[in-house]
């Protein structure tokens, strides 16, 4: 058997608290760094416009004078005095009540027709799908032109002295 050696001090030194804290802080900062683009986008494109629109709805606002806080007066006017609001709501709800169900029925009807096995159905399937495919082919041609070796992107880069890469060619 071998004898175990015991350190002279009796125990290994405990890790310092600062080291663990800095590791945790670095991990937390890394997480915040990864999520920050989304947070910035959410604040700038959703939260700020939403809160600013609430602020504007509670003020009397004109370009010639500073905003004046009037509370819920705009909402009282809209719900109880403004005929244009109620006309717009009636038109919107009527359109939604008619267009949504008719659109769903029409979609199911077209799907049932295109799924039938009858003479000449290939022509109707082609006529139905070609408009959607043509726009995809058109966009493919535009991007192919823009990103080709002699395309518009590399031409613009050459104007400022940068040799653009061959975006569409494989390097392997």
The conformation of residue 13, written as its DSSP 8-state character, comes to: P
The arithmetic mean of pLDDT across residues 109-135, rounded, is 87
Q: What are phi and psi of 156, to 5 degrees?
A: -65, -40
Q: What are phi and psi of 99, to 5 degrees?
A: -70, -40
Q: Please check whether residue 89 lies inside any domain of the structure.
A: no
Residue 6 has pLDDT above 70, yes or no: no
Q: Please check whether residue 103 lies inside any domain of the structure.
A: no
Task: Write down the pTM of the prediction.
Answer: 0.49
The conformation of residue 65, written as its DSSP 8-state character, comes to: S
| Claim to verify: residue 75 and residue 125 sit in the same structural domain | no
| Claim to verify: residue 69 and residue 120 sit in the same structural domain | no
pLDDT at 106: 95
pLDDT at 16: 53
The arithmetic mean of pLDDT across residues 32-39, rounded, is 96
Number of domains within the chain? 2
The model's pLDDT over 43-96, given as tens digits with 9 standing for 90+, comes to 999 999 999 999 999 999 888 888 899 999 999 999 999 999 999 999 999 999
Q: Please check whether residue 50 lies inside any domain of the structure.
A: yes
Determine how many CB atoms are found less than 10 A away from the CB of residue 169: 8
The helix, strand and coil proportions of the chain, stated in percent and rounded to the nearest 5, come to 65, 0, 30
The model's pLDDT over 13-34, given as tens digits with 9 standing for 90+, comes to 555 555 666 888 888 899 999 9
User: 36, 63, 81: which is the final residue of a domain?
Assistant: 81
Which among 49, 96, 54, 52 has a CA at the least distance from the CA of 75?
Answer: 54
What is the separation, in whole angstroms, between the first and last Cα of the chain?
A: 60
Q: What are phi and psi of 167, to 5 degrees?
A: -65, -35
Q: Please check whether residue 135 lies inside any domain of the structure.
A: yes
Q: Please check whether residue 76 lies inside any domain of the structure.
A: yes
Domain of 34?
17-81
pLDDT at 24: 85
pLDDT at 5: 64
């Amino acid at each position: 058997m071998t004898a175990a050696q015991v350190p002279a001090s009796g125990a290994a030194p405990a890790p310092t608290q600062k080291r663990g804290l800095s590791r945790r802080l670095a991990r937390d900062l890394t997480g915040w760094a990864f999520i920050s683009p989304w947070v910035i986008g959410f604040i700038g494109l959703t939260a700020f416009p939403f809160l600013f629109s609430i602020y504007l709805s509670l003020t009397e606002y004109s370009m010639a004078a500073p905003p004046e806080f009037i509370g819920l007066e705009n909402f009282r006017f809209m719900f109880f005095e403004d005929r244009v609001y109620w006309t717009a709501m009636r038109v919107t709800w009527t359109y939604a009540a008619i267009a949504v169900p008719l659109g769903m029925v029409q979609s199911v009807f077209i799907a049932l027709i295109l799924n039938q096995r009858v003479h000449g159905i290939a022509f109707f399937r082609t006529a139905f799908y070609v408009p959607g495919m043509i726009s995809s082919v058109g966009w493919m041609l535009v991007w192919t032109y823009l990103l080709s070796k002699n395309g518009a992107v590399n031409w613009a880069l050459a104007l400022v002295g940068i040799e653009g890469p061959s975006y569409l060619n494989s390097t392997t």
